[in-house]
Structure 1
Amino acid sequence: MNRTLRRLNGWIFAALVLLGAGAIGYLSAHHDHVADWTYGSRVSMSPETRAVLAKLDGPVDIVSYASPQGDLRQTIAAVMQRYQQAKPDLHLSFVDPQKDPAAMRNLGITVDGELILQYRHREQRLDTLTERSLTDAMERLVRGNDRIVAFVTGDGERRADGDANADLGTFVQQLEHSGMRAVPLNFSQVTAVPDHTDLVVLASPQAALSAGAVKALIDYLGKGGNVLWLADPGNQDPSLQPLADALGVRVLPGELVDASAAATGLKDPRMIVLGDYPLSDITRGFTLTTLFPEVAPLAEVSKQDWQIVPFLRSSPQASTQTLDGSQANALKGPLDFGFALSRLSPSPNKSEQRIVMIGNGDFLSNSYLGNGGNRALGERIFDWLLGDDALINMPPRGAPDRVLMVSQGELNVLSIAYIVVVPLLLLIIGGVIAWRRRRA
């Protein structure tokens, strides 16, 4: 009897195992669940990519001109599967480029596997498939047409294509990946800002602008143009006074110093560190720390038809000093050094005109761009100025989990564990094994 019960129990156990395996197989075939426990979901899809996909509120069609030979199609389909999990109305199809070479030449297809993305009659092309390039292409689809950003040149301004420490080359190169096109604007060669310019950037001119250049900028303002003005301490150029008067703002003399910067490990009090920001469309939800070296304070001096919103402000411990270090007649903080200006646009082509004025240009320079949230703040400023409000709250780019953040106490514990505890544990285990062998 006992033998029969044991056999019956064995058969029941085997049946339950088979039933469980079948249930697992059925569920895995009909339900797909992927979990990524890495910080920022690096091995699946970045938060920025998910945010871009969320901004695409309609179907996206992707056509890949990939040859059926080899495994290129399988590779492309595997990459796109992750995107389709986050956006089910993303459709992928393949076309064999060898079937109609003439049609491929007309389309300009030159690379096996080249992709054409279509969204709301907008189109982007990709010949290299990575998450970064694909996300950039989708961000350009959200943005629409490439935005023309004209950088004033010829008067010692920071260069948009330069690689010197003070230039903006690294930042501008990243902007171009997301759908902005930087062009030079030299008023010795043109008398007005060209039509279809979406934004003019005046980045810390070192020489006085000509009267014609200032008139061209004011005329551009009068037509509803958007402007980013980066002013550094000591650059109170009288030639730009008409532009400042048109905005109702002023660059105050001297520069900001903040003794509380020493608490963050900075020895130079001219380095202004911000972690809190006045509420504005640019800084809403922004919590990253930014660094601004050598800042000129700004002030609203007259009431115009502009709505002026401060979005960069020093701490109460800050004050001004002259460029030679004197604090005579110093102004006490908090002091504003970043203004966002807006008004109803005089142009019938857009509803709102936007200006940003900042008393520092170094925070976007090649030297300081990588500090904290400088790059992310710069991207928000450009998105706001260009009217791409849907992109302002995008998560910052990067892979933060590449850095291991450990406190000094945790580092001490790890050091003791690996230097003392682990070797001691190995010695104990070795001694126990040797003792047992001797007894045997």
Structure 2
Amino acid sequence: MNRTLRRLDGWLFALLALLAVGAAGYLSTRYAHVADWTHGGRASLSKESRAVLARLTGPVEITSYANPQGNLRQTIAGFVQRYQQVKPDISLRFVDPQLDPAAMRELGITIDGELLIHYRGHEQRLDDLSSEGPMTNALERLARGGERIVAFVSGDGERRPDGQANADMGTFMTQLEGRGMRAVPLNFAQVSAVPQHTDLVVLASPTAPLAPGGVQALVNYVRDGGNLLWLTEPRAAGAPLADDLGLQPLAEALGISVLPGVLSDASGAALGLANPHMIALGDYPAQAITRGFTLTTLFPEVAALAPIGGSDWSTTPFLRSGPQGRIDTGSEADTSLPGRPLEFGFALRRLSPSPDKSEQRAAVIGDGDFLSNTYLGNGGNRALGERIFDWLLGDDALVNLPPRGAPDRFLRLSQGQLNAVSLGFLAVLPLLLLAIGGWIVWRRRRR
């Protein structure tokens, strides 16, 4: 009787095991779960890419013109699959470019594997799958619904958005163009007002006084709800920058005062900066632009700013010197004053006077060198500049894709750790298996 019950238990256990395996197989066809155990989750999408995908409310169609021979199609499919896991309505189809060469020439397909991405009537091309950055940037441009027009005031010695001189911003704007922004010149000697459909106006460090008509055009633009970025520079002692260049009406419209003199901060000596006028920041006031931003940025020759009372703007500082900050106007008396944190970057927002949008945004920064060709590569200057432009354009899902390497490809062990692993696999594990096997044989013989 006992032997029959034991056999029955064995058959029942086998039947339950088969049922469990069948149920697991059935559930695996209906539900999927993917776990990424790599260091930093490098095998899955970053949170920035997920934020961009969340803004795409409709299906995305991707067409890859890849040769069926070789492993290129498999590589592309694996790359796109990471995006499909987050957004299932991304479709991917392959076209053999050799079947219709004339059609490929008409489409401008010149690279094997080139992607055409379609979303809501807009199209982006992509031929770089080395990382998720280019793909996410292409999706971000599609989410924006087209190019954003950024007008740079020109004609008064401003920094050029397409220039290659040290003080120009050509390198930075080239990178922004890859993210769906287009820089256009705005010369008030040729036009009397900011053109319609301008998403952002940039006044980048003018060196000559602006004509009264140009200043009034900027004031009217701000009054009517336009977004503005004003990069100021410190001037010699005597008169504030706004008065010196005829920009006082614009400063009053924004509720910001540009203080005379050059900001000085001796705390930069801890980072090896001998010049106290070179401001290095690693800590930032809490604001949407700098939320979660921890990179060090470098600002040469900075003008301090201060808010003007009575403005209807909500003014929040996001760039501030260290506790040893002071304003250097060339007077010896200034060096005897105790240092204090001084702001040189303000983010402004208010209800928009324009019926086309709900909120108006502006930013005033006491330095434009940090985005110039000379200083753009210092620390987080480029990343901070991208955040400023994204915020001013209303793209609060800021995209900052740091390169994610593969630090888990190499396992570094000390000699003691290596000996412990070797002993475990060569001695401990075999002995453990022998002990378990002996225990099972002993139990069966007792029956």
Which TM-score applies when normalising by structure 2?
Answer: 0.75
8 Å contact from structure 2 (residues 210, 245) kept in 1: no
Query: Does the C-alpha gap of structure 1 residues 336 and 158 become closer, same or farther in structure 2, counting only changes over 3 Å?
Result: same
Report the Cα offset of residue 103 of structure 1: 6.3
Q: Distance in 1 between matches of 2:176 and 2:281?
A: 23
2:118 corresponds to which residue? 118
| Map of 1:397 onto structure 2 | 402
Instruction: Give the aligned partner of residue 442 of structure 2.
Output: none
Take 2:330 and 2:318, find their aligned partners in 1: how far apart are those partners? 24
Tell me, yes or no, if the aligned pair for 2:200 and 2:228 is still in contact at 8 Å.
yes
How far apart, CA to CA, are the structure 2 residues paired with 1:323 and 1:189? 39
Shift of 1:341: 1.1
Match runs of 1:30-109 below 5 Å: 35=36, 37-38=38-39, 41=42, 48-56=48-56, 58-68=58-68, 71-97=71-97, 109=109
The residue identity in structure 2 corresponding to 1:80 is V
Query: SS of 1:213's equivalent?
Result: helix
User: What is the deviation of 1:297?
Assistant: 0.6
Q: Check whether the contact 2:324–2:338 (CA below 8 A) recurs between aligned residues.
A: no
Q: Does 1:198 align with 2:199?
A: yes
The structure 1 residue matched to 2:268, chosen from 261, 265, 270, is: 261
Q: Distance in 1 between matches of 2:350 and 2:314?
A: 6
Per the alignment, residue 431 of structure 1 pairs with: none
SS of 1:118 mapped into structure 2: strand
Deviation at 1:142, TM superposition (A): 2.4
**Inter-CA distance 331–218: structure 2 relative to 1 (3 Å threshold):** farther
Aligned partner of 1:348: which letter?
P
Cross-structure match for 1:437? none
1:148–1:198 Cα contact (<8 Å) kept: yes
Number of corresponding residues: 380
Distance 1:399 1:127 in 2: 20
Q: How far is 1:151 from its partner?
A: 0.9
Aligned-residue sequence identity (percent) comes to 63
Deviates more, 1:211-220 or 1:199-208: 211-220
Equivalent positions of 1:177-326 (< 5 A) are: 177-234=178-235, 235-236=241-242, 237-322=244-329
- Aligned ranges 1:155-170 → 2 under 5 Å: 155-170=156-171
Q: Provide the rounded CA distance (Å) in 1 between the counterparts of 2:305 and 2:197.
A: 30
Once residues 403 and 99 of structure 2 are traced to their aligned partners in structure 1, the CA distance between those partners, rounded to angstroms, is: 41
Q: Distance in 1 between matches of 2:37 and 2:271?
A: 34
Determine if contact 1:40/1:399 at 8 Å carries over to the other structure: no
Q: CA deviation at 1:111?
A: 5.0
RMSD: 3.3
Q: 1:36 to 1:362 in 2, by over 3 A?
A: farther
1:140 aligned onto 2:145: no
Q: Which amino acid aligns with 1:220?
A: Y
1:373 matched residue in structure 2 = 380
Select the residue among 336, 344, 347 that pairs with 2:351. 344
Provide the rounded CA distance (Å) in 1 between the counterparts of 2:169 and 2:406.
27
Shift in Å, 1:217: 1.1
| Alignment of structure 1 residues 355-370 onto 2, 5 Å | 355-370=362-377
CA distance in 2, matches of 1:387, 1:356: 13
Task: Measure the CA separation in 1 of the matches of 2:136 and 2:332.
Answer: 47
Once residues 323 and 375 of structure 1 are traced to their aligned partners in structure 2, the CA distance between those partners, rounded to angstroms, is 31
Q: Is the 8 A contact 1:40 1:401 kept in 2?
A: no
Structure 1, 327-336 or 241-250: larger mean CA deviation: 327-336
Deviation at 1:180, TM superposition (A): 0.6
Tell me: CA distance 1:93–1:325, structure 2 relative to 1, closer, same or farther (3 Å): farther
Do 2:362 and 2:392's aligned partners in 1 also have CA atoms closer than 8 Å?
A: yes
Deviation of 1:144 (Å)? 2.2
CA distance in 2, matches of 1:282, 1:113: 37
Q: Could you say which residue in structure 2 is the equivalent of 1:410?
A: none
1:205/1:323 CA distance change after superposition, 3 Å: farther
Contact 1:47 1:395 in 2 (8 A): no
Q: TM-score, normalization: structure 1?
A: 0.76
CA distance in 1, matches of 2:62, 2:252: 50
Once the two structures are TM-superposed, the CA of residue 47 in structure 1 deviates from its matched residue by 5.6
Match of residue 429 from structure 2: none
Post-superposition shift, 1:105? 6.6
Q: Structure 2: which 5+ residue stretches go unaligned?
A: 1-20, 236-240, 408-413, 415-447
Determine the C-alpha separation between the residues in 2 that align with 1:40 and 1:267. Answer: 40
Q: Deviations over 1:30-56 (max 9, x none)?
A: 888675645672x76556445534544
Tell me the residue number matched to 2:151: 150
Residue 346 of structure 1 aligns with an amino acid whose one-letter code is: P
1:244: how far off?
0.8
